[in-house]
């Protein structure tokens, strides 16, 4: 009797899997809380593209968005939620399973 195995790629979180969102999750995972402009410049995307991806991650419960002011200028700060941190860590574990299952390595 053979057991049916499922390739770990099927377990990748599609919300995180986008290159932009993966870059965002990675940066937030390392830095904690970051300013919108800093993140935009770090991952080299436009304001509108970053805003779109923030909305996706916020809707999933992965990112917390805080708005406030520094002087008279409005600022937006982003951080991972506990759920976002857990999802990102699981994504990384899944990548390791994919890499570890490669017979050519």
14-99 CATH fold: Arc Repressor Mutant, subunit A (1.10.10)
Cα separation, 48 vs 92, in Å, equals 27
Q: What pLDDT score does 1 carry?
A: 46
Buried b (16+ CB within 10 A) or exposed e, 46-84: eeeebeebbebbeebebbbeeeeeeeeeeebbbbbbeeb
Exposed, middle or buried by CB within 10 Å (0-12, 13-18, 19+), for 21?
Answer: buried
Domain extents in the chain: 14-99
Q: What pLDDT score does 70 carry?
A: 86
Taking only the tens of pLDDT, the chain with its 105 residues reads: 455 668 888 889 999 999 999 999 999 999 989 999 999 999 999 999 999 999 999 999 999 999 998 888 889 999 999 999 999 999 999 998 888 866 554
Cα of 45 vs its chain's centroid, Å: 15
């Amino acid at each position: 009797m053979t057991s049916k195995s499922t390739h770990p790629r099927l377990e990748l979180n599609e919300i995180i899997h986008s290159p932009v969102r993966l870059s965002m999750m990675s940066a937030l995972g390392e830095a904690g809380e970051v300013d919108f402009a800093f993140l935009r410049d770090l991952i080299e995307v436009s304001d509108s593209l970053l805003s779109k991806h923030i909305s996706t991650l916020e809707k999933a419960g992965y990112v917390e968005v805080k708005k406030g002011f520094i002087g008279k200028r409005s600022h937006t700060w982003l951080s991972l939620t506990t759920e976002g941190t857990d999802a990102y860590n699981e994504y990384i574990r899944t990548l390791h399973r994919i890499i570890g299952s490669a017979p050519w390595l």
